[in-house]
Amino acid sequence: MSQLLGKAALLRCPAGTSLQDKGRLAGAQFGIPTAGAMDQKSFRWANHILHNSSNAVALEMAQPGLRIQFDQACQIALAGAQVLVSLNQTQLSNSTLISIAAGDLLEIGAFLTGSRLYLCIQGGFQVERYLGSGSDFESITSPSKRSTQEVLSYIPIPQSNSLGAKPKWETSWFESPEIEAYRGTDWALLSSEQQEFIHSSIFHVSKFSNRMGIQLEELVPNQLEDLPTNPVFPGTVQLTPGGKIIVLMRDAGVTGGYPRILHLTEDGQSKLAQKRVGDSIRFQLIDTITG
């Protein structure tokens, strides 16, 4: 089988590049983080336009500079950040859905908007799955992130088998500051002043942000002590004793001891994943309809 697979060589692979899918839901019982694409919305959309399964493995990038060469024909789709793309050194005007011929060299240039890019490929990148997921994670997959000179496998397709459509990826959905969130399990422990502060303030994304969590610059005056360690998820918003807000993202551990004050919707998580250091956000609280 393996000699039938196409090879995609990472001639240059910027730091922070990894293979991701929907994530590893069955791992929490062993303490294994969910992992998976930070911006599930873009990931899902790019797989959708390729007619892929919703869990096909994609390449996630957080920085420009990727150079990737494909040895056989394939269809790829890009979604997430808006970036400059060139194919065989010619800049593309619409880089959403690209037909690749054998030997083609694709290069990712500057990120114009957003901060995470997904390169999906028809059939998905072919990797071993662990607990149902091919998402890279330290001590779970080998390697645990991608680097220059590595080669990824994919299922080649006949050159003529183009999808025809010309969809165009739009990024306006992640440009507004509003991030939708539910009130978290420990929201009621906050004073009404703290609740109002969190509700009405503009926060800024801190440089202390990665796939584990996104910290916000502004502190919330806080006297709450640590609580017994309990479950957390991607999207759980924690408040530390020092008043720091940490939004847990895909690689966060499965439990935590800080008060869990909010929980971002999946759209809210995808939107936040596209924010850059210094971008402003505001939590838009939504009510849970109780039965």
Residues in contact with another protein by CB under 8 A are 25, 27-33, 130, 138-141, 182-185, 226, 228-231, 233, 253-256, 263, 265, 288-291
**Neighbouring C-beta atoms of residue 182, cutoff 10 Å:** 17
Smallest distance from another protein to CB 140, Å: 5
Closest among 13, 62, 49 to 250, alpha carbons compared? 62
Smallest distance from another protein to CB 110, Å: 32
How far apart CA 142 and CA 127 sit, in angstroms, is 10
Of 164 and 228, the one with the shorter C-beta distance to another protein is: 228
DSSP one-letter string for 130-183: BTTB----TTTSSSSS--TT-EEEE----TT-----------GGGTSSEEEEEE
Give the residue ranges of DSSP H helices in the chain: 40-49, 192-200, 266-273
Of 82 and 133, the one with the shorter C-beta distance to another protein is: 133
Structural tokens at position 270: 């995808």
Rg (CA), the chain: 20
Smallest distance from another protein to CB 228, Å: 4
Of 87 and 254, the one with the shorter C-beta distance to another protein is: 254
How far apart CA 281 and CA 270 sit, in angstroms, is 13
Smallest distance from another protein to CB 257, Å: 8
Of 9 and 127, the one with the shorter C-beta distance to another protein is: 127
Smallest distance from another protein to CB 234, Å: 11
Of 182 and 197, the one with the shorter C-beta distance to another protein is: 182
Smallest distance from another protein to CB 19, Å: 16
Of 129 and 276, the one with the shorter C-beta distance to another protein is: 129
φ/ψ (deg, to 5) at 188: -65, -15
**Neighbouring C-beta atoms of residue 45, cutoff 10 Å:** 21
For residue 188, the 8-state DSSP code is: G
Smallest distance from another protein to CB 113, Å: 28
Of 27 and 114, the one with the shorter C-beta distance to another protein is: 27
